[in-house]
Amino acid sequence: MKFVRYICDLVDLLCRLSILLCPWACLIMAIGISALILGLWPMHLIWTYYCIIRTRMVGPVVKLLLLVAATVILILWLIVGIPGSVLAGLLYGFLAPIMATFDAVGEGKENTFVHCFVDGTWSTITGSCTVVRDLKDMLFHSYFSIMDDLRLQTPCGKPYEIRLLDIPGALLSAACGLILDVIMFTLIAIYKCPVMLFKGWKRLIQDLIGREGPFLETACVPFAGLAILLWPFAVLGAVLASILSSIPLGLFGAVVAYQESSVVMGLSYAVSSVSIFDEYTNDVLDMAPGSCFPRLKYRKQKNEDSSHGGQLSKPGSFDKENQEGKKPLNRVTSFKNSMDEFNPFKMLDHLFAECKRQGEVLVNEGVITMKDIQETKSGKVGSGVLNVGLPAYVILNALLRSAKSNSNGLILSDGTEITSDNRPKSTLFDWFFDPLMIIKEQIKAENFTEEEEECLKMRVLMVGEPSNLKVTLPHVPSLNERKKAEIDAFARRLQGITKSISRYPTSKRRFDVLVKSLLSELERTMGGSAPANGSQALRLRGGIARMLSQKSVGKTANIMDEDPEAQVARKALT
């Protein structure tokens, strides 16, 4: 009885805090996001048209279709974005205090009663401002970086063009697939929603009685109790999500019909997608495997497992026959332990912490100069030493460290190893992790010398045209043309990865903090007076490059007496 009363009192407190803070958070986000959408919309419209017209990646017909699609997307963005900002403000203002209060009642906190009122108040207001700022970075900096790539990128072969004769069949497949999938997905979702409702309640009540699953930690008990009450809304959301998912799946029939140059294949995919959805929902709800709907062949390739009829193999976690004789799954899993595992946000925090640490070292050595910092502060996203070169430099050091240790994953600076077992289970993380593992194996196969590694590091760090890099890169006589081309290829790939990272909303905000930190470190190193112009910075960097090149050929002569540029660099280092 006390436990139920504790939950009710905490829920009442959460509702009062949310009602108090929700209007302010909604006001900040609605005004900020709406101002950004309305203020930048004319510029987005003009620049999108300009970049599509000027791009050399696609042909005239594709450009025309892209212009039509861009017009529709921009109009929908204007219509949906402003009401969406109000809804996002309401949701954030309501949920942020709730999550902060759950943390306040967690184990290990002192003055829990005070934290229940204090936590989640001011942080909700500042969090609303942070959301607006991140969206501004995405709509301004990230948008122009992506559009510049579209405008300036050159195709490897001929520009991409579409086959006009296959367009009518693709449109017919899309229309039929959309009608069929929307109707069938809706019927299947409505038919199976009672199963999801009662099975979910049964599992939550069992966990409540046995203090397992979400009820294991004290901090999660109120939230899990609230989940029992709000579970019907979760089921309703799942039904709506199923109906909405039918739209892209139905339209994908046009892609299949165009790729296979066959209307029959497009229509076969529309029928098969219903069977795939039915079988997937059976697996999720632990129902009978398979589907009563036909699954037709929609690909001409015979080795395509997913393109012909048959049943999807049911995952082992739902296959009761395969579970006989096996150890039962342990449902008593700590919520805190699961949160302490690797996740993309912690990896991003570690990346920027390493950028700050190694950036300060490079500032003290004179490699990163005032010119690089000012270039990043000017807003040149994706083209500077700090926002592209420095993260690539940090990632390269991790790759070299992992290659020398014969690691199967990625070894961080603190000795932590990220492998396929403990890496973040995120598709977004896989886009970066898998290419890095390939680059690591290629670097291991090259077996670079110490001087070649130093040249690779400088090439990765210094972002610019090859003609400008000749002044700053160290000269290593042992490098032949093949080695130089391989180093350039590694550098371009790593810089491309970090350029993609710099486009994410939180990255711009983190880079601003990094720039301020390196600027203060540079001012402290220079005794309060930064280099007056770019020529002095170029001389300083050129001196360091010359010192590296002389080290690579084993010279023991006195650099201070022979090279005035190296003398400037040596004075800066001391």
Most confident range (mean pLDDT) of 35-44, 316-325, 416-425 is 35-44
| CA separation for the pair 298, 102 (Å, rounded) | 49
pLDDT for residue 454: 83
Looking at residue 99, its amino acid is M
Give me the residue label for tokens 């090149």.
Answer: 549
Confidence of residue 475 (pLDDT cuts 50, 70, 90): low
E strands within 428-501?
A: none
pLDDT digits (tens, 9 = 90+) for 223-256: 666 777 888 888 898 899 999 999 999 999 999 9
Confidence of residue 14 (pLDDT cuts 50, 70, 90): low
Looking at residue 223, its amino acid is F
| CA separation for the pair 383, 375 (Å, rounded) | 9
SS3 119: coil
Q: What is the mean pLDDT of residues 380-392?
A: 70
Q: What is the mean pLDDT of residues 371-389?
A: 68
Which residues, in sequence order, are CB contacts of 305 under 8 Å at separation 6+?
A: none
Token pair of 565 as six digits: 């540029």
Q: What is the mean pLDDT of residues 31-36?
A: 92
On the question of pLDDT at 31 being above 90, the answer is yes
Closest CA to 123 of 264, 25, 6: 25
Token pair of 151 as six digits: 């405008």
Global confidence as pTM? 0.64
Closest CA to 508 of 203, 172, 156, 139: 139
CATH of domain 344-525: 1.10.565
CATH 1.10.565 maps onto the chain at: 344-525
| CA separation for the pair 343, 511 (Å, rounded) | 20
pLDDT for residue 573: 39
Confidence of residue 183 (pLDDT cuts 50, 70, 90): very high
Of 67-76, 376-385, 480-489, 536-545, the least confident: 536-545
**C-alpha pair distances (Å), 307 with each of 237, 248, 311:** 30, 18, 11
On the question of pLDDT at 468 being above 60, the answer is no
Of 162-171, 210-219, 397-406, 499-508, the least confident: 210-219
